[in-house]
Structure 1
Amino acid sequence: MQHFLWGKVVLVLVAVVAVLQVVHLILLSRLEARHHHHDDQSDQLASAGNEGPISVAVFAEDHDLSEALWTIVGLRLCYSAIRHNVSFQLVSPLPAGGRPPLSVPQDPAHPCQLPTPSRSEQQRNYAGSRRFPNNLLRNVARRGAATEFVLVVDIDMLPSVNLRQDFYDFAVKNRLFTESHREDKTVYVVPAFEVRETVPVPRHKAELLQLADQGHLRPFYIELCWKCQVHTDYEAWQKEPPSSGVAPLFEVLWKDPWEPFYIARNSVPFYDERFKQYGFNRISQVCELHVAGYKFSVLNNGFLVHHGLKTATSFHVNKDMDQERNRMLFRQFKTELRDKYPESSRRCY
């Protein structure tokens, strides 16, 4: 009996040490990313293209927590660019009955052999046991970012090559980092597209336009909610010939239910964390930007791409229920904005 108890104590101590090591690595990743950013921000931004500070919020339920922790450790150990540029923020629900013990990988000596998710796991989307806190994750990631400007995107979106460097050059040229521009209320819209999985993701606007002409690429969400993106005015954007760098092409007045992706100062209003699962989570935040007096300026060359076409069959079975629940919350949210911005004449409709 005594040997059994000592065995359990040893196992618990091993688990505690493993958890502390993982937590240490995650905290170290945040410190290194911030240090790497602040040490020589100008040189880094001027030379790194799209390889720069990234803040990643990871959501892991109880049964996924060990895998998430060890995957983060593996990524940091095996890829120097991730170790230097990426900070990880781990979000996990607080269990009612206590946290189950974390497991150690069967072969921790080879952390670079990361598991590849199965096709079914990739398509789970919001079909977990808990309501997915997407807006909470967006806020956590933003709070973990050390940069003045941020581009908030979902993990399955890829930016065009040199988008970060091109925007930095534009910001420097237009003195956006100076104190006199800190209160400027402009967000810079990055048009989003979706491309067939059978073709490579376009790197530049010329490649994107060619894929669009061939029928392999289309505006993001055009099949599911064309009004959610149509106000970006893709037709006008695609008529503009590719050029070097990025610059504002035209401004767009927000209209319900437009939910563009954009680059903005990290001081813009945060996302409302009451919105979970599917529906109205990004629209609500962009709606608040509109009421708060922000203007939307579409960039001429930069873009985002989702690899794979968005179709109705790619969502979880309770999508419509989630959307209806959040629709009611959105109505309440719009009413609350009137009290939050009493001097604004703008409304979300």
Structure 2
Amino acid sequence: MLLIQRYMFRIKRYFLRFSLACRKRQKLKRLFRIFLILIVGLLILNIINGVLFSSILFFQENSNEPDYDLDTRPYYQTIEMKKRFDISGNYLIVQNFVQYQSNLTKNADLLALNLHTSIEKLHLSLNHAKVWDGPISLTLYVKGTRASDDIDYASMWLRCNHRLFKVLNIHLVMSATAYERSISNQHHTHSVKYAVSCQNLNYINHTDETDSTPYPSNLLRNIARLGTTPLTVQYILTLDIDIFPASDLFHHLVSFYTQTTTTEQFNRTLYVIPAFEIHIDTVKHSAPLPQNKRELILLWNDNQLQPLQADVCPTCQFLTNYQAWKQEASDDKIIPIFRPHYSQPWQPYYIGPKDVPTFDPRFKSHAHARISQCCETFMNGYDYAVLNNVYLYRLGFLDKSQLPTTELIDDDTSVLLFDQFREDLLKHYTNTTRKC
């Protein structure tokens, strides 16, 4: 009996211990739950505080906060060290004013793009940079008594956008008047620093009618070619700043020049790239630009696009034979489809070897500026061939009412100069039967 009582007592004791242990575990569970709730609550509060703090910083952020500080004095020192005047003495030239270099992919240094522009159209070069994966050599023209302001703007703009270019060489040409009145003493002044905000950088046009020096288009073209790098460049495409390459033009041309064919053919042939005008309404409505020849022809059939200078000077592009180009069956391979016999006033845009005759600098904003160079290349022994499936474009139709705004020098002056130019060619190329 006593033995049974002992066993019963032990059982009760074990039961009490088990009950106490369970009660303690429930308390521990409750404490653990409370602890978890506190931790989660603190995390949520931290997240809320972080979001609120970030929002305050975002709304308080100053959009005018500078991206960098620009010291302008080195640019004027560069002008003084590198400046030279052209043969007329009317223009100051600074070769390689600003240079930006980066690594190029294979064959990307085979072709270079040459451009020229006035300061107010400098921003258009971004359209070229988006599609041209090779070197770009650009000549910038500045004139007027506020030329230093324009150079400061150009320096800031280039610094803000240089990463968009693979290889960019900027050359500066300014009127002698601008140099004397605005630039000549700038390198002696104290350093001027601009707090540059790239997002808010805008060009301010400084109209100056006292400097009537004409836009030296052919001089600018020659300076761009002279400053083309790297040395491996073999072929050059020279464009006006408002003529843009198609999105796939660069890679089509690389493919064309690297295919198996004779180098001699490339060295004596200038390959014409048809140029078009896209209606301004198409641009205003943000319609997509044509990405290939098929899409271009669709716009053409819808009267949203036309050959370059169709309303201004149809004969200037007549030998390109746009209708034949349009009807030629599309093929992925880039080939020349016909070879026109040159006659003026044809002035095509073409890509050719970098040693073709230079542009005659006597032609400035003359109607014959490009015609003269096309004429001389023909007399020099070069032939023209029109390529299929590649094209250039301009935004907006040109019409005769816009001619005064193109700053063309009086037609009579242009004709007289061109007559003199042809006489000079006959004296220079005495062993050719070619004429233009």
Return the alpha-carbon distance in structure 2 between the equivalents of residues 64 and 195 of structure 1: 34
Return the alpha-carbon distance in structure 2 between the equivalents of residues 82 and 97 of structure 1: 30
Q: Partner of 2:174 in structure 1?
A: 92
Return the alpha-carbon distance in structure 1 between the equivalents of residues 235 and 376 of structure 2: 18
Question: Which amino acid in the other structure matches residue 109 of structure 1?
Answer: V
SS of structure 2 residue aligned to 1:257: coil
Question: Which amino acid in the other structure matches residue 148 of structure 2?
Answer: S
CA deviation after TM superposition for structure 1 residue 36, in Å: 4.1
Q: Partner of 1:133 in structure 2?
A: 216
Q: Partner of 1:5 in structure 2?
A: none
Once structures 1 and 2 are overlaid, which stretch shifts more, 108-117 or 279-288? 108-117
Return the alpha-carbon distance in structure 2 between the equivalents of residues 219 and 318 of structure 1: 18
Determine which of 225, 235, 238 is the counterpart of 1:142.
225
Return the alpha-carbon distance in structure 2 between the equivalents of residues 134 and 313 of structure 1: 21
Is residue 2:107 matched to residue 1:42? yes
Is residue 2:364 matched to residue 1:276? yes
Is residue 2:260 matched to residue 1:174? yes
1:279-290 paired onto structure 2 within 5 Å? 279-290=367-378
Once structures 1 and 2 are overlaid, which stretch shifts more, 211-220 or 248-257? 248-257
Higher relative contact order (CA closer than 8 Å, sequence separation 6+): 1
**Does the aligned pair in 1 maintain the 2:110–2:235 contact within 8 Å?**
no
Residues 142-193 of structure 1 deviation map (CA, whole Å, 9 limit, x = unaligned): 11112211110100011111211111111111356xxx53883100000011
Return closer, same or farther for 1:27/1:287 CA change in 2, 3 Å cut-off: closer
Seq. identity, %: 27
Determine which of 126, 139, 146 is the counterpart of 1:57.
139
Which consecutive residues of structure 1, in runs of 5 or more, have no partner in the other structure? 1-13
Name which one, 1 or 2, has greater alpha-carbon Rg.
2
Determine which of 247, 250, 253 is the counterpart of 1:161.
247
Residues 10-51 of structure 1 deviation map (CA, whole Å, 9 limit, x = unaligned): xxxx87456337999x94843x44x745xx6536669x9622
Q: Partner of 2:282 in structure 1?
A: 199
SS of structure 1 residue aligned to 2:427: helix
Return closer, same or farther for 1:112/1:289 CA change in 2, 3 Å cut-off: same
RMSD: 3.5
Task: Compute the TM-score of the two structures, normalised by the length of structure 1.
Answer: 0.81
Question: Which amino acid in the other structure matches residue 421 of structure 2?
Answer: F
Is residue 2:201 matched to residue 1:114? yes
Residues 82-131 of structure 1 deviation map (CA, whole Å, 9 limit, x = unaligned): 4542211110012388242569999533145331577x98xx9x997211
Question: As a proportion of its length, which structure holds more strand?
Answer: 2
Return closer, same or farther for 1:269/1:308 CA change in 2, 3 Å cut-off: same
Return the alpha-carbon distance in structure 1 between the equivalents of residues 309 and 108 of structure 2: 37
SS of structure 2 residue aligned to 1:271: coil
**Does the aligned pair in 2 maintain the 1:134–1:276 contact within 8 Å?**
yes
**Does the aligned pair in 2 maintain the 1:29–1:84 contact within 8 Å?**
no
**Does the aligned pair in 2 maintain the 1:29–1:83 contact within 8 Å?**
no
Residues 284-303 of structure 1 deviation map (CA, whole Å, 9 limit, x = unaligned): 00001111111101010111
SS of structure 1 residue aligned to 2:180: coil
CA deviation after TM superposition for structure 1 residue 202, in Å: 2.4
Return closer, same or farther for 1:45/1:81 CA change in 2, 3 Å cut-off: farther
Task: Compute the TM-score of the two structures, normalised by the length of structure 2.
Answer: 0.66
